[in-house]
Amino acid sequence: MKPEPVTPGDELAGRRVRKDRRVAIALYVVGMLVLFGSLAGFMFDQYQRDMQAARERTAARADLVAEWVGSTFSASDFLLSDVSEQLQPPWRQRLFGEPLDPAMVEDFLIQHRQRLDLVDEVNLVGPEGRILASSSSLYPQGFDMSGLPFHSAFESRPELSGWVTPLFWSALAARHLVVHARRLPDGQGLAMVELDPGVFGQALERLSLARGQSIAIIDTEMHLIARRPRLDDDEPLAALGVTIDEPQTEAFIESGEARVHLRTASPLDGDERIYTLRRINGLPFVVVVGEKASILLGGWMYRLWVRILIGLAVMGLGWLALRHYLNRLRLEEEVRQQVRERELARRDARATEAQLRIAATAFETHLGMLITDRDSRILKVNDTFTRITGYTEAEVVGRNPRLLSSGLHDEAFYRRLWRGVLRTDSWQGEVWNRRKNGEVFPEWLTLSAVRNAAGKTTHFVATFSDLTERKAAEKEIHQLAFFDPLTGLPNRRLMLDRLEVALKDSYRSGKFGALLFLDLDHFKQVNDTLGHHAGDQLLQEVAHRLEGVLRDTDTVARLGSDEFAVLLYDLRGDVEEVAVIAERVANKLLAVMQAPLRLGEESLSVSISIGLTLYRGHEATLDEILQQADMALFQAKAAGRNALAFFDPEMQVRLQARARLEADLRQALPNGELRLHYQPQVDERGAVIGVEALLRWQHPVRGLVSPGEFIPLAEENRLIVPIGHWVLETACRQLAAWTEDPARAALSLSVNVSPRQFREPDFVKRVLEILEATGAPACLLKLEVTESLLLEARDEARRRMLELRERGVRFALDDFGTGYSSLAYLKRLPLDQLKIDQSFVRDLLEDEASEAIVASTLALAQSLQLEVVAEGVESSPQRVWLVVHGCRVLQGYLFGRPVPVEDL
Ligand code: C2E
Ligand code: MG
Ligand code: MG
pLDDT at residue 176, as a whole number:
86
pLDDT at residue 579, as a whole number:
82
In terms of average pLDDT, the best of 134-138, 311-315, 527-531 is 311-315
892 ligand 1 Cβ < 6 A: yes
Which residue is closest in CA terms to ligand 1's atom 34? 752
519 ligand 1 Cβ < 6 A: no
pLDDT-derived band at 422 (thresholds 50, 70, 90) equals confident
Q: Give 151's contacts (C-beta < 8 A, 6+ positions apart).
A: 125, 129, 145, 190
Q: Which of 427, 458, 423 has its CA nearest to residue 444?
A: 427
What average pLDDT does range 645-649 have in this prediction? 78
Query: For the segment 160-192, what is each residue's pLDDT rounded down to a tens digit?
Result: 888 888 888 888 778 888 888 888 887 778 888
Number of Cα atoms under 13 Å in the Cβ half of residue 811: 24
Nearest-5° angle of CA 330, CA 335, CA 341? Answer: 120
The pLDDT > 90 percentage for the chain reads 33
Query: For the segment 476-500, what is each residue's pLDDT rounded down to a tens digit?
Result: 888 888 899 899 999 999 999 999 9
pLDDT at residue 3, as a whole number:
45
pLDDT-derived band at 2 (thresholds 50, 70, 90) equals very low
For ligand 2, the distance from its centroid to the CA atom of residue 765, given in whole angstroms, is 22
What average pLDDT does range 885-903 have in this prediction? 94
787 ligand 1 Cβ < 6 A: no
> Are β-strands 889-891 and 867-870 bridged in parallel, bridged antiparallel, or unpaired?
parallel
The pLDDT > 70 percentage for the chain reads 96
679 ligand 1 Cβ < 6 A: yes
Q: Which phi and psi (to 5°) does residue 561 adopt?
A: -45, -70
pLDDT at residue 733, as a whole number:
95
What average pLDDT does range 345-356 have in this prediction? 80
Which residue is closest in CA terms to ligand 1's atom 17? 872
Which residue is closest in CA terms to ligand 1's atom 11? 898
Residue 1 has pLDDT above 50, yes or no: no
Please name the amino acid found at residue 217: I
Taking the C-alpha atoms of residue 428 and residue 413, their distance in angstroms, rounded to an integer, is: 12
How far apart, in Å, do the first and last CA atoms of the chain sit? Answer: 124
Q: Which atom of ligand 1 is nearest to the CA of 892?
A: 15
What's the whole-number average pLDDT of the chain?
87
Ligand 1 test: best mutation among 750, 752, 784, most atoms within 8 Å of CB? 752
717 ligand 1 Cβ < 6 A: no
Nearest-5° angle of CA 672, CA 677, CA 680? Answer: 165
For ligand 1, the distance from its centroid to the CA atom of residue 711, given in whole angstroms, is 11
Which residue is closest in CA terms to ligand 1's atom 3? 815
Query: For the segment 198-251, what is each residue's pLDDT rounded down to a tens digit?
Result: 888 887 888 788 888 888 999 888 888 888 888 777 776 777 888 888 898 899
Ligand index nearest the alpha carbon of residue 819 = 3
For ligand 2, the distance from its centroid to the CA atom of residue 693, given in whole angstroms, is 8
Alpha-carbon distances, residue 822 vs 52, 382, 523, 850, 856 (angstroms)? 174, 79, 21, 18, 14
The residue count of the chain comes to 904
| DSSP string for 445-491 | EEEEEEE-TTS-EEEEEEEEEE-HHHHHHHHHHHHHHHB-TTT--B-
pLDDT at residue 651, as a whole number:
52
Ligand 1 test: best mutation among 815, 838, 842, most atoms within 8 Å of CB? 838
Alpha-carbon distances, residue 277 vs 55, 213, 287, 432, 519 (angstroms)? 10, 14, 6, 122, 161
For ligand 2, the distance from its centroid to the CA atom of residue 677, given in whole angstroms, is 12
Residue 42 has pLDDT above 50, yes or no: yes
For ligand 2, the distance from its centroid to the CA atom of residue 716, given in whole angstroms, is 19
Q: Cβ distance 216 to 224 under 8 Å? A: yes
Q: Which atom of ligand 1 is nearest to the CA of 873?
A: 18
Q: Around Cβ 360, how many Cβ atoms within 10 Å?
A: 10
Residue 743 has pLDDT above 80, yes or no: yes
In terms of average pLDDT, the best of 40-54, 274-288, 821-835, 867-881 is 867-881
Taking the C-alpha atoms of residue 620 and residue 631, their distance in angstroms, rounded to an integer, is: 15
For ligand 2, the distance from its centroid to the CA atom of residue 751, given in whole angstroms, is 7
Query: For the segment 862-881, what is each residue's pLDDT rounded down to a tens digit?
Result: 888 889 999 999 999 999 99
838 ligand 1 Cβ < 6 A: yes
Which residue is closest in CA terms to ligand 1's atom 20? 872
What average pLDDT does range 654-668 have in this prediction? 82
| DSSP string for 770-803 | HHHHHT--GGGEEEEE-THHHHSSHHHHHHHHHH
871 ligand 1 Cβ < 6 A: yes
Q: Looking at the whole model, is its pTM more than 0.85? A: no
What average pLDDT does range 17-37 have in this prediction? 89
Taking the C-alpha atoms of residue 567 and residue 370, their distance in angstroms, rounded to an integer, is: 51
750 ligand 1 Cβ < 6 A: no
Which residue is closest in CA terms to ligand 1's atom 27? 707
898 ligand 1 Cβ < 6 A: yes
Q: Which of 263, 269, 259, 247 has its CA nearest to residue 296?
A: 263
Question: Which range has the worst mean pLDDT, 154-158, 650-654, 795-799?
Answer: 650-654
pLDDT-derived band at 819 (thresholds 50, 70, 90) equals low
Taking the C-alpha atoms of residue 569 and residue 590, their distance in angstroms, rounded to an integer, is: 20
196 ligand 1 Cβ < 6 A: no
What average pLDDT does range 282-307 have in this prediction? 86
Q: Which of 807, 762, 817, 743 has its CA nearest to residue 786?
A: 817
Nearest-5° angle of CA 24, CA 29, CA 34? Answer: 125
706 ligand 1 Cβ < 6 A: yes
Q: Cβ distance 289 to 259 under 8 Å? A: no
